Structure 1
Amino acid sequence: MDLVELVRQAGVVGAGGAGFPTHVKLNAEAEYLIINAAECEPLLQTDQFLMRERAMELVAGILLAKAQVKAQKAVIAVKGKYIREVRCLEDAISQLDADIAIHDLQNFYPAGDEQMTVFEVTGRSVPPGGIPLNVGCVVSNVMTMINVFEASQNIPVIEKYVSILGEVREPRVIKVPVGTSFDTCLEAAGGTTISDFCIIRGGPMMGGMIDQSQQPGMSITKTDGALIVIPSDHYLVTRAKETEIQMLNRARACIQCGFCTEQCPRYLIGHPLHPHKMMKAVKYAEDFNESHHEALLCCGCGVCEMYSCPMGISPRQVNFYIAGKLREKGIRYQHDDSEVIARDGREFRKVPPARLISRLDLNKYDHQPLKEFREVSSDRVCISMWQHIGAGSQPVVKVGDVISKGQLIGEIPEGKLGAMIHASISGRVTEVSDNQVVIARSQGS
């Protein structure tokens, strides 16, 4: 069985948050294989932990993927400030005699954005609406490469490393079975230090906001990398709860200063994305059409609204709103094949993470010292059938089935983009729906 099929059978997807099925990404040829090790979002520490503790498996996975895509160059793009992590990577590369380079990234946000990483490593701009493969690159995440190595050993993706941070008594990285409840994860970090809180699922710039009423039904998926607990009256929570009507009404306060555009990462690598123009469009346009298609280029990094805008309004959400209206009409971005050239001054407009963290009022949680790593077991898991880009997986088990850890429980629908799903614990199936499979651990298993 070749690597692509092993990766497909193991259910490997992009572990950095996107969840794109990795067997599809590896079924290509590219000049560069680039490993995104930048830990893009502020506060997060999971990839740093993995680079320290699982560097050998990471490098082994990179070598397998490099051979598969016939890459001439394999590059780990990592922030130079991660001195310990770089040393561990260098040791692993030396021990495996691997032809892998380490690219020293500057410390800026969003250094880990896929298209930013491509530009930093190669100097090439991915065309608007395109993918890294258009410029000869395949980009993957640290944990994804570890999962590729494990897939080569017939080990499916059934566990996840997650940073538990913020208002918890014992911030730490934990390893849990996929489908473990958020409650169990918080308990593994000593519980919360406050009673009224929300959870950021992912990073503070692009992660989802989970309030306490939603928390009981939430569980870890293959793409989760962090849970950050913050007070329910925090600035980020208030912004996240803004309604669409409120967002659109506040957009009318835009003064057209252009700061959102001048610091937009996609604009700076040469894309024709102008958030301030979209703010004007939502203010005056009666309808949206192909002339507004640049809104479809927004990557959602949040620099425009969380850092650049002096009015505290929401260019990102306006882009999303317009993009949604365009997709309803079947409008897609069409690049004219012209050369994409990065704009002058890009190097001087990069966002310093320390200043960003300060603006987000998250200084209290920056560089939190972590307690010892912990592996966490779970007696009950709720495993989502929608853990990836594409179609949801189709359950292949029924209520009452006794299954083993690692057993297939969800298949890719015929002819669809998707990923296999496996049982993360041994036990009995207690619930099956189109959305999830619930497994309870059997006595003594």
Structure 2
Amino acid sequence: MDLLNKIKEAGIIGAGGAGFPTYIKLNCKVEYFIINGLECEPLLQSDKYLMRNKSDEIVSTAEKIGDKIEAVHIVIGLKEEYYDEIRALRESIEKLNSKVELHLSSAFYPAGDEQTLVYEVTGRTIPPGGIPLNVGAVVSNVGTVFNIFEAIQDKPVIYKFVTVIGEVYNPSIIKVPIGTSVKECIEKCGGTTVDDYVVIMGGPMMGKLLSEESFENRVITKTDGAVLVIPADHYLAQREKMTIKHMKNQAKSACIQCHYCTDMCPRFLIGHPIHPHKIMRAVALSEDNDELFKEALICCECGICELYACPMGLSPKRINVYFKGKLREKGIKWKNVTNIFEGHVLRDYRKVPTKRLISRLALNKYVDQQIEEGEEISPEEVSIPLKQGIGAPASPVVKTGDKVEKGQLIGKIEEGKMGSNVHASVDGEVIEVGQNVVIKTMQVEVIP
């Protein structure tokens, strides 16, 4: 079977981002194939785990993909401080006599942002609203590449390596069947060290803070890589309670137009015409300026503007998110007026050091946590969403009462639709079919 068909059948989507179907992304010819191992968010370590322990698989598969898409350069991007991972990858490259190259980056945020990574490796700016293909590149996360290795062996995506950190007794990287509850992941890591806590899915900058209700029902999907547990009174949790009305009032009363939010914006620094300080000024003056507010459409929502740059503690990112929604309701889209974009001359001096960012976020206590590895969850029940990532949900091909085996197809994407196939992550019996397929694990009877 052709590589792209194997990827499609295995249900592979981007493991480190929004979950774009990989068989569509890799249906191209490019100059650069870039593998993202930079672990964009602070504190996360799942990609590091894969590069240390699955380096042969990643390097060999990267070369297969590179050959398929006729890439001249096959590059794995990772941070220069990842000493063990660099050593493992270099040993694999030498052993396999591979043409894969390593691009070592300083430890700054958001080094793992796709557009930032492409700029770092190629020196080319992806146009605002564009994709790496626009500058002759395609990017895949290291987790995606490992999933493709398994797809070549006819193994579908049925589990994730998840970093569970923060206020848990045993911070760990655990192997989790898709559809396992987040609550069970935390329990597997010894439970929480505090009674009053909140959970962030992903990292502290761009992760999603779960409400109490959503936490009870949240399960691990193909795009989840981390569970961060923090005290309920933590700065990050308290900021999430702020209303848009309060954010606007803050802008009116406290924005000093220092334009640090713009000066340190990663997209501004690679040449995008985005100026958060101008949007904040328009908000402060109660201006109705859709032409200016359109810049919000090209915000990557990294959070540097409000969690690092702003000396007044304002919320440019969430103001941008608000206007994004309003503009989309009106059907307004971003349109480039030029194809020429150049990085800022001071870009290298305005990168945000990861260690300083962690300190600013009051997360230093989690930096030196001892991370356990090798544990695997065996849940009694999984609830597997039929919609994984970008696109349409898969159509169920099983019904209540069916017995299923691990790796069996339970949801198939309809021909002509964009999405991903879904597979059983455990052996068991289907007990519910709706937006999720719920499977009760078969218990092996022990004969005395």
> Considering the TM-score relative to the shorter chain, is it more than 0.5?
yes
Instruction: Give the Cα–Cα distance (whole angstroms) in 2 for the partners of residues 337 and 422 of structure 1.
Output: 44
Instruction: Give the Cα–Cα distance (whole angstroms) in 2 for the partners of residues 182 and 443 of structure 1.
Output: 21
Q: Equivalent residue of 1:318, what SS? A: helix
Q: 1:421 is matched with which residue?
A: 422
Q: 1:390 is matched with which residue?
A: 391
Q: 2:256 is matched with which residue?
A: 255
Matched, 1:310 2:277: no
Instruction: Give the Cα–Cα distance (whole angstroms) in 1 for the partners of residues 324 and 214 of structure 2.
Output: 27
8 Å CA contact 2:405–2:426 kept in 1: the answer is yes
Q: 1:329 is matched with which residue?
A: 330
Instruction: Give the Cα–Cα distance (whole angstroms) in 2 for the partners of residues 68 and 332 of structure 1.
Output: 34
Amino acid at match of 2:405: S
Instruction: Give the Cα–Cα distance (whole angstroms) in 2 for the partners of residues 408 and 442 of structure 1.
Output: 17
Instruction: Give the Cα–Cα distance (whole angstroms) in 2 for the partners of residues 367 and 69 of structure 1.
Output: 40
Q: 1:296 is matched with which residue?
A: 297
* Alpha-carbon shift at residue 286 of structure 1 (Å): 5.4
Q: Equivalent residue of 2:58, what SS? A: helix
Instruction: Give the Cα–Cα distance (whole angstroms) in 2 for the partners of residues 49 and 232 of structure 1.
Output: 29
Matched, 1:99 2:102: no
Q: 1:354 is matched with which residue?
A: 355
Instruction: Give the Cα–Cα distance (whole angstroms) in 2 for the partners of residues 161 and 73 of structure 1.
Output: 28
Instruction: Give the Cα–Cα distance (whole angstroms) in 1 for the partners of residues 377 and 339 of structure 2.
Output: 51
Moved more, 412-421 or 12-21: 412-421
Matched, 1:440 2:440: yes
8 Å CA contact 1:288–1:325 kept in 2: the answer is no
8 Å CA contact 1:201–1:208 kept in 2: the answer is yes
Q: Equivalent residue of 1:214, what SS? A: helix
Matched, 1:60 2:79: no
8 Å CA contact 1:36–1:76 kept in 2: the answer is yes
* Alpha-carbon shift at residue 354 of structure 1 (Å): 1.1
Identity of aligned residues (%): 53
What stretches of structure 2 of length at least 5 have no aligned partner? Answer: none
Matched, 1:70 2:70: yes
Amino acid at match of 1:415: G
Amino acid at match of 1:147: N
* Alpha-carbon shift at residue 300 of structure 1 (Å): 0.7
Can you list the C-alpha shifts for 1:115-152, whole angstroms capped at 9, x where unaligned? 11001111111111111110000011010000011111
Instruction: Give the Cα–Cα distance (whole angstroms) in 1 for the partners of residues 231 and 50 of structure 2.
Output: 28
Moved more, 162-171 or 276-285: 276-285
Moved more, 341-350 or 414-423: 414-423
* Alpha-carbon shift at residue 187 of structure 1 (Å): 1.7
* Alpha-carbon shift at residue 285 of structure 1 (Å): 4.8
Q: 4+ residue runs of structure 1 moved beyond 6 angstroms?
A: none
* Alpha-carbon shift at residue 18 of structure 1 (Å): 1.8
Q: 1:206 is matched with which residue?
A: 206
Instruction: Give the Cα–Cα distance (whole angstroms) in 1 for the partners of residues 368 and 327 of structure 2.
Output: 41
Q: 2:21 is matched with which residue?
A: 21
8 Å CA contact 2:274–2:295 kept in 1: the answer is yes
Q: Equivalent residue of 1:335, what SS? A: coil
Can you list the C-alpha shifts for 1:339-396, whole angstroms capped at 9, x where unaligned? 1111110000000111111110100001321124211211200111222112222222
8 Å CA contact 1:288–1:326 kept in 2: the answer is no
Instruction: Give the Cα–Cα distance (whole angstroms) in 2 for the partners of residues 367 and 14 of structure 1.
Output: 29
Instruction: Give the Cα–Cα distance (whole angstroms) in 1 for the partners of residues 22 and 296 of structure 2.
Output: 27
Mapping for residues 37-436 of structure 1, pairs under 5 Å: 37-252=37-252, 253-285=254-286, 287-433=288-434, 435-436=435-436
Q: Equivalent residue of 2:77, what SS? A: strand
Instruction: Give the Cα–Cα distance (whole angstroms) in 2 for the partners of residues 87 and 196 of structure 1.
Output: 41
Instruction: Give the Cα–Cα distance (whole angstroms) in 1 for the partners of residues 199 and 292 of structure 2.
Output: 38
Instruction: Give the Cα–Cα distance (whole angstroms) in 1 for the partners of residues 398 and 189 of structure 2.
Output: 33
Matched, 1:7 2:7: yes
* Alpha-carbon shift at residue 240 of structure 1 (Å): 1.5
Can you list the C-alpha shifts for 1:76-118, whole angstroms capped at 9, x where unaligned? 1110100110000011111211110001111100000001100
How has the CA–CA distance of structure 1 residues 51 and 402 changed in structure 2, closer, same or farther, with 3 Å as cutoff?
same
Can you list the C-alpha shifts for 1:315-336, whole angstroms capped at 9, x where unaligned? 0011111111111111111112
Can you list the C-alpha shifts for 1:30-63, whole angstroms capped at 9, x where unaligned? 1000011111111111111111111111112211
* Alpha-carbon shift at residue 417 of structure 1 (Å): 1.6
8 Å CA contact 2:428–2:439 kept in 1: the answer is yes
* Alpha-carbon shift at residue 4 of structure 1 (Å): 0.7
Instruction: Give the Cα–Cα distance (whole angstroms) in 1 for the partners of residues 291 and 387 of structure 2.
Output: 31
8 Å CA contact 1:64–1:149 kept in 2: the answer is no
Amino acid at match of 2:411: G
* Alpha-carbon shift at residue 3 of structure 1 (Å): 0.6
* Alpha-carbon shift at residue 250 of structure 1 (Å): 2.2
Q: Equivalent residue of 2:9, what SS? A: helix
8 Å CA contact 1:263–1:304 kept in 2: the answer is yes
* Alpha-carbon shift at residue 64 of structure 1 (Å): 1.8
* Alpha-carbon shift at residue 288 of structure 1 (Å): 5.0
Moved more, 319-328 or 205-214: 205-214
Instruction: Give the Cα–Cα distance (whole angstroms) in 1 for the partners of residues 371 and 292 of structure 2.
Output: 49
Q: Equivalent residue of 1:338, what SS? A: coil
Instruction: Give the Cα–Cα distance (whole angstroms) in 1 for the partners of residues 368 and 27 of structure 2.
Output: 38
8 Å CA contact 1:288–1:322 kept in 2: the answer is no
Amino acid at match of 1:309: C
Can you list the C-alpha shifts for 1:181-223, whole angstroms capped at 9, x where unaligned? 1122112211111111011100000001124443221110011
8 Å CA contact 1:172–1:371 kept in 2: the answer is yes
8 Å CA contact 1:43–1:367 kept in 2: the answer is no
